Amino acid sequence: MTTSTSAPVTAPSKTAVAARTKGLRKEYGSTVAVDRVDLELPEGAVLGMLGPNGSGKTTTIRMLLGLVRPTQGEIELLGRPLPEGAEQALPHVGALVEGPGFHPFLSGRENLVRCAAFEPLLPRKEIKQAVEDAIERVGLAQAAHRRYRGYSLGMKQRLGLAAALLVPRKLVVLDEPTNGLDPAGTREIRKIIADLHAAGSTVLVSSHLLSEVEATCTHVAVLHRGTVVAQGELTELLQAGGSALQVITPDVEKALSALRQAKISARPLGDGLRVELAGTSAPQVIETLVQGGARVFEATRWKTGLEELFARLTEAEEAERGMSAVDTLDGGRR
């Protein structure tokens, strides 16, 4: 497991890149919202962008869409640099950012027609059909004639999705798409993402619902405090970051100090320790423990899910007090 600042965990993708950022930084006054964000979105991938509230997900997305100018850094969207290439790239990008935004006095359908009028890729004659298709696709047919004012949160979210899907897109960016949706709605969103993926579109989904990301994404990028702490293919990240060793030992203190000397990350857990296998291997850990005088009763390989990986990445600093001195996750940077 490495950090973005050293070698990224990214599986060396031979495929083209739908979007890429380099050294992205955004300051609002004196607060730094996002710093050193190097994001890579491989073409055809479904990238889940994870991060706690305020970690810079939305700011990064807004910069990717040319809504916000970065203070520093470069952005490339569908092969064009932003903001100069925005007019060429953005027609191929559908986006739902920071919740759906529509006019309350217009019906859902009228709102979509207004959006469609500003879509460069949509010929005038096809507007009507495209709007009906989008409404159908997100399951809003029953409510399309009603005023947006009276929509439930879930219906608003669906309408936002419909606007993003008005035209066949190369890239679809969805910021918290399942906000306010019931379980059925969440499943439908998953299906839509799967359909987009199958049709060859690239999808960027930001979410703090991990099960969501685990179920739909091929790639993951984890943001924390305005920077990317890990990114890559989901399966690889889980293998790389998720493997740990649970060691049952009565000599926790001895074990911890031995591991600390060997610069292996570990923390007390239950009857023993949890040892991270990043940058080391199970035999090496056990050897270290035994040489340090700790009796090892049992050692089990611990396979983690995304939730734990996420927790470790984003709560590293908070958890640090309970861990041995070196946290290999963040250690490279400090």
Partner 1 sequence: MITRQFGSEVRWMLRRPRTIIGLFGLVLVPIIISFGIWTAGDDESGGGGPGLAAIIQGNGLVVPIFTLFLSLNLLLPLVASIWAADGLAGEAQHGTLRGLLVAPVSRVRLLFVKLFGLTAMSLFAVTLMAVVGIIAGTAFLGSDGMMTLSGTTLGTGEGLLRIALFIVLVTFQMVSIGAVALAVSATTEHPLVVQAATMTTIIVFQVLSQFPSLDWLHPFLITTGFPGLIDVMRDPIPLGQIWDSTLLAGCYLLIGTGLAAMRLITKDN
Provide, rounded to whole angstroms, the least separation between the CB of residue 119 and partner 1. Answer: 6
- By DSSP bridging, strand 219-224 and strand 72-77 are unpaired
Instruction: Judge whether 119 and 91 are in contact, CB under 8 Å.
Output: yes
What Å distances lie between residue 24 and 32, 98, 221, 255, 315, CA to CA? 11, 20, 15, 41, 23
Determine, following the binding rule CB under 8 A, whether residue 85 of this chain makes contact with partner 1: no
Contact string 123-162 vs partner 1 (x = CB under 8 A): -x--------------------------------------
What Å distances lie between residue 212 and 46, 82, 261, CA to CA? 12, 30, 39
Determine, following the binding rule CB under 8 A, whether residue 77 of this chain makes contact with partner 1: no
Provide, rounded to whole angstroms, the least separation between the CB of residue 105 and partner 1. Answer: 6
Determine, following the binding rule CB under 8 A, whether residue 37 of this chain makes contact with partner 1: no
Closer of 160 and 242 to partner 1 (Cβ):
160
Q: For 106, which DSSP code?
A: S
Closer of 63 and 273 to partner 1 (Cβ):
63
- Structure tokens given for 189: 């969103």
Q: Please give, one letter per residue, the 3-state secondary structure of 163-200.
A: HHCCCCCCEEEEECCCCCCCHHHHHHHHHHHHHHHHCC
Binding residues for partner 1, rule CB under 8 A, total: 32
Closer of 145 and 187 to partner 1 (Cβ):
145
Determine, following the binding rule CB under 8 A, whether residue 82 of this chain makes contact with partner 1: no
SS3 (DSSP) at 95? strand
Closer of 63 and 210 to partner 1 (Cβ):
63
Closer of 87 and 298 to partner 1 (Cβ):
87
Closer of 124 and 334 to partner 1 (Cβ):
124
E runs forming strands in 198-239: 202-207, 219-224, 227-233
Determine, following the binding rule CB under 8 A, whether residue 62 of this chain makes contact with partner 1: yes
- The tokens 């669906």 sit on which residue? 158
Provide, rounded to whole angstroms, the least separation between the CB of residue 91 and partner 1. Answer: 7
Stretch that binds partner 1, among 65-73, 234-242, 278-286, 312-320 (CB under 8 A): 65-73
> Which residues have CB under 8 Å from 259's CB, separation 6+?
265, 266, 273, 275, 285, 288, 289, 292, 324
Candidates 18, 50, 75, 90: give the one binding partner 1 (CB under 8 A): 90
Candidates 34, 68, 217, 255: give the one binding partner 1 (CB under 8 A): 68
Closer of 113 and 248 to partner 1 (Cβ):
113
Closer of 23 and 101 to partner 1 (Cβ):
101
d(C-alpha 303, C-alpha 140), whole Å: 41
- Structure tokens given for 216: 């739909």
d(C-alpha 13, C-alpha 22), whole Å: 17
d(C-alpha 108, C-alpha 110), whole Å: 6
Contact string 91-130 vs partner 1 (x = CB under 8 A): x-x-x-xxxxxxxxxx---x--xxx-xxxx---x------
Interface residues toward partner 1, by CB under 8 A: 62, 65-69, 86-87, 90-91, 93, 95, 97-106, 110, 113-115, 117-120, 124, 163
